[in-house]
Amino acid sequence: MEELIDSIFSDLKTELNSELTGENDQALLLVKVRNAVDDVECVRNYQNHHTDEFKEKDLKKMKPVIKRLALYDWNTIGAEGHSSYSDNGTSRTFVSRDDILSQVIPFATVLSAQ
């Protein structure tokens, strides 16, 4: 799992190089990556029979979604909860974070009748 987190973090550090002004920014970005991994893992709804190896391979397939979530979270720092923003003639409309997470298909839980 750490390999995936490190890979996404490294990619985003390269993309956001001009925005990362210090160690605090890098630490915050790493938190955003870890949170994105946790959110995808939660939505994926892994079952008891899924091994750690399976989860890790599966999450690697979700790397683009995790990266988009982390980047979204980074870009909305200070605007959490806003769907749009307007100031001095500049307007921004944010995509819903749920739209990104909707690309993650959860595993179904099978209930047995006893």
Say whether 87 sits in a helix, a strand or coil: strand
d(CA 86, CA 73): 19
Report pTM: 0.87
Conformational region of residue 11, where left means phi above 0, alpha means psi within -120 to 50, and beta covers everything else: alpha
Give me the pLDDT at residue 30, please: 98
Give me the pLDDT at residue 28, please: 97
Give me the pLDDT at residue 71, please: 96
Give me the pLDDT at residue 57, please: 97
Give me the pLDDT at residue 79, please: 77
Neighbouring CB atoms inside 10 A of 109's CB total: 8
CA angle at residue 65 from 27 to 37, to 5 degrees?
45
pLDDT along the chain (114 residues), means of 10: 97 95 95 98 95 97 98 88 82 88 91 72
What ranges do the domains of the chain cover? Answer: 2-101
* The amino acid at 38: D
